[in-house]
Structure 1
Amino acid sequence: MTDDVVSARSGTPVADMARWLGEYNINGLPVVDADDRVIGVVSATDLKRTQRAAAAGGVLTAGAVMTTPARTVRADDSVVRAARLMSTSGVERLPVVDEEARLVGMVTRRDVLQIFARPDTDIGDEVTDEIVVRALWLGPKSVDVSVTDGVVTLSGHLETSGAVAIAVWMTRQVDGVTGVVNRLTSQHEAPYRQPA
C-alpha cells in the first residue's frame, strides 16, 4: 500500500479535489472525518459527473458527491481479499484502515497486479526458504516446490497431517500465489495413549 495518501474532508470543494487528481496523478481519494476515519470515497468519475452541476452554479463539496459507505480493507487483510473486493466492487483503489477505521494508506489495482505478477522463481524461493526451511524446520530439498503461473505444487512426505495443513495454508498466504496443489503425504498421526 501507499501510506502517503491525499484525502479530503466532507467540506472540501469539488474544484480542489479535481485539481488534486491532476497534481498527484491519482484517480480517486478517500474522504475522512476529523478523526481520520474513512467516511466515503470520491472517484474521478464522480467528479466528472458533478462538474457540470458545479458549473451551473453553487459549490459542491466532497460530502455531496462521495460514495458511501466506502469499501475499505484493513492493513492486515490479504492481497487476495483486496483484489477480490476491487473486482466485485468495480473499483480501482481501496482505502486501507486500521482496527478503528482510521485511514493508514491506499492500495490500488496496480499495487495488487505487481504482487501477482511476481516471477514464479521468486514465489518458489520464498515458499522453500520461509515455509519449508524456517517454519517447518526441514531441509530445502525435503519438499518439492514447483510454481507455474502463480500456482504452487507441493510434493513430498511430511511426518504429520498437521504439518501438511500448515505448509498448504502458509503457501496460500505468499504474495503472488494464485493457487496451491497439495501432493504432500503424511504418516498417520500416532493414536493417543492414556498415560500409565
Structure 2
Amino acid sequence: MRTWSVGDVMTQAVVSVKEDASYREVVDVLVSHRFSAVPVVDPSLRVLGVVSEADLLRKIEYNGDEKPRMFEGRRRRGERSKAHGRTAAELMSAPAVVASADTPLTAAARLMDGEAVKRLPVVDEKGRLIGIVSRGDLLKVHLRPDDEIRADIEHAVLVPFLADDANAVVTEVTEGVVTLSGKVDRRSSAEIAVRLVRQVAGVVEVESRLRYDFDDREFRGPRQPFGADSPGPKPPFGPESSAGR
C-alpha cells in the first residue's frame, strides 16, 4: 500500500531570502506573497533558519523597551535581541525545523504540531531547499476523487490482504467516507481490512458493515508475559483446552 509523503504535496517553487537580506526586504517578501514565514538560505541553498512574522514583530513589541529586566528568561532575552536585528540572519529562528521529501504526511503533521509551526522547508540529503510544505498542503490528500480512493482500497488493500474474500467485499466512497459491506471468512480479516483502509490517503472515516462466518477472536487466549522465565502455566488454546483432561 502506497504511503503519501511530503514530496507528493509540497510546493516546489519556493521563495526564500539570503542571510544578508534586510529587515525591510524580508517584510516585503512576506507581505507581497502573503506568507507567514520564509526560509533563510546560504549561497548553496542550504537552509539556515526561518524568519516568521513573529520574529519580525519583535521590533514593534520591544519598541522603546531597551533595557533587559532583572531575572528575564533566556527566551525573552532572545526575543529582545531580535528587536534590534537588521538582517535575516539576525532575525531568523535557527536551526530550522525541516522535513525530507519522503517524510510521511502523518509524521509531517505531528512535527508541525509538536514544534508549533505552520510550514516546513523541505530539504534534500545535503540540507538544500527543494520545496516547502504547509498545513494546507497536508490537507490536499483529502481532495482526492472518491473513485481514486476506491481504486486504491480495492487494489492496494482488499486484493493483497483479503485474498479470496476480496471479491465478496463491496466498497463505497462518498466524500472520503468509506463503507465496507459484504462477508468475509474470519472476524480478524474484517478488522484488518478496516484498519488498513483507514490508512489509505484521503480516507476520512470507515464504516464497516462487514459480516463474517467465523469469530476467531474467541480462540485467542489472554495475553501472558513472554519468555522462558514467565511465571505461571501457559494459557489454554482452543475450546478443547477448557474441558477436563
- TM-score under structure 2 length normalisation: 0.57
Q: Aligned ranges for residues 155-170 of structure 1 at < 5 Å? A: none
CA distance in 2, matches of 1:75, 1:123: 22
Match of 2:29 among 20, 38, 54: 20
Match of 2:45 in 1: 36
CA distance in 1, matches of 2:114, 2:85: 33
Aligned residue identity for 2:21: T
Shift of 1:144: 5.0
Matched, 1:90 2:99: no
Aligned residue identity for 1:78: P
- TM-score under structure 1 length normalisation: 0.68
Name the % identity.
38
CA distance in 2, matches of 1:85, 1:181: 29
Rate the CA distance shift 1:50–1:144 in 2: closer, same or farther, 3 A.
farther
Q: Aligned ranges for residues 112-191 of structure 1 at < 5 Å? A: 112-116=138-142, 118=144, 122-132=148-158, 141=167, 144-145=170-171, 174-177=200-203
Shift of 1:82: 1.0
Rate the CA distance shift 1:50–1:141 in 2: closer, same or farther, 3 A.
farther
Q: Aligned ranges for residues 41-120 of structure 1 at < 5 Å? A: 41-50=50-59, 60-116=86-142, 118=144
Runs of 4+ in structure 1 deviating by more than 4 angstroms, as ranges, are 51-59, 117-122, 130-133, 142-158, 177-183
Aligned residue identity for 2:41: V
Q: Aligned ranges for residues 1-16 of structure 1 at < 5 Å? A: 1-16=10-25
In structure 1, list runs of 5 or more residues that go unmatched: 186-196
> Cα RMSD over matched residues?
4.0
Equivalent residues, number: 183
Q: Note if contact 1:13-1:59 (Cα within 8 Å) is conserved in structure 2.
A: no
Shift of 1:48: 2.1
CA distance in 2, matches of 1:173, 1:103: 29
Q: Note if contact 1:144-1:154 (Cα within 8 Å) is conserved in structure 2.
A: yes
Shift of 1:150: 5.8
Shift of 1:178: 6.3
SS state of the match for residue 125, structure 1?
Answer: helix
Aligned residue identity for 1:20: V
Q: Deviations over 1:98-131 (max 9, x none)?
A: 1221110000111112324546664233222445
Task: Determine which structure has more spread, i.e. the larger CA radius of gyration.
Answer: 2
Rate the CA distance shift 1:9–1:130 in 2: closer, same or farther, 3 A.
same
Rate the CA distance shift 1:117–1:89 in 2: closer, same or farther, 3 A.
farther
